[in-house]
């Protein structure tokens, strides 16, 4: 619902047409989440179907201007009033992956963790660079989004470390096997019952 609500909130600031909404949305997220223009229209069409927005007369240049309705305002107000709940959040793919991997036989979980950490660190560096470059001029909204991504990536990295140490401890309990195993990060070669 994030996009729908976001566009709705933008319309709450005043009528606008499709391209303006796309631009406004991307400006605030600093292009972190580029929005396919088609999606703006499908989202608007669905919002109109649900009575949250309405088409105004086309403007002087023939552009289709949308306006928020009373029902739409109510929904925006609610969106701002109510916190985002954990239950609403989508299932986390990485967590599912590790949860399944850790229980499965013949899957090198450590390799998964390490690969993922590589990716996470790369992302983190990229974000940090972006922040350094943007810090001067960028507007508050974009900076906050950026920090959000950074905080998230850091949490992910920390969690991966945590997983690794837990895995190491578990492996330790299993005592000594494979005396001098060269690292073999090949994971998931299937199996049978």
Partner DNA sequence: ACAGCCATGTAACTTGTTACATGATTTT
Partner DNA sequence: AAAATCATGTAACAAGTTACATGGCTGT
The one of a second copy, DNA, none whose footprint includes residue 181, by CB under 5 to 8 A per kind, is none
Task: Find, among 106, 157, 150, the residue nearest to 127 by Cα.
Answer: 150
Measure the N-to-C terminal CA separation of the chain; round to a whole number of Å: 41
Task: Select from 13, 45, 118, 141 the one that contacts DNA (CB under 7 A).
Answer: 45
Helix (H) or strand (E) holding 101: helix 93-103
The one of DNA, a second copy, none whose footprint includes residue 139, by CB under 5 to 8 A per kind, is a second copy
Nearer to a second copy, 140 or 180 (CB): 140
The one of a second copy, DNA, none whose footprint includes residue 171, by CB under 5 to 8 A per kind, is none
Least distance CB 12 / a second copy (angstroms): 5
Nearer to a second copy, 45 or 166 (CB): 166
16 to 35: interface string for DNA, x by CB under 7 A: -xxxx---------------
- Asked if residues 134 and 149 have their Cβ atoms less than 8 Å apart, the reply is no
* CA dist list (Å): 182 to 41, 55, 104, 122: 54, 65, 21, 25
* CA dist list (Å): 126 to 40, 60, 64, 133, 149: 28, 43, 38, 11, 11
Task: Select from 13, 14, 27, 46 the one that contacts DNA (CB under 7 A).
Answer: 46
Task: Find, among 126, 132, 97, the residue nearest to 112 by Cα.
Answer: 97
Residues that bind DNA (CB under 7 A): 1-4, 17-20, 36-39, 41-46, 61-65, 90-91
């Amino acid at each position: 619902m994030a996009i729908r609500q976001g566009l709705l909130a933008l319309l709450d600031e005043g009528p606008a047409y499709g391209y303006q909404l796309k631009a406004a949305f991307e400006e605030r997220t600093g292009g972190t989440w580029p929005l396919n223009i088609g999606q703006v229209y499908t989202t608007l069409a669905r919002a109109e179907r649900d009575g949250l927005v309405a088409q105004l007369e086309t403007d002087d240049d023939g552009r289709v201007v949308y306006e928020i309705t009373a029902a739409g305002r109510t929904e925006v107000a609610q969106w701002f009033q109510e916190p985002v709940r954990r239950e609403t959040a989508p299932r986390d793919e990485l967590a599912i992956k590790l949860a399944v991997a850790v229980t499965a036989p013949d899957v090198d979980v450590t390799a998964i963790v390490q690969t993922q950490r590589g990716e996470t660190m790369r992302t983190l560096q990229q974000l940090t660079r972006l922040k350094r470059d943007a810090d001067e001029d960028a507007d508050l909204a974009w900076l906050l989004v950026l920090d959000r991504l950074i905080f998230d990536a850091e949490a992910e990295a920390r969690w991966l470390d945590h997983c690794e140490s837990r895995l190491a401890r578990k492996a330790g309990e299993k005592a000594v096997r494979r005396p001098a195993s060269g690292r073999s990060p090949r994971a998931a070669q299937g199996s049978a019952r």
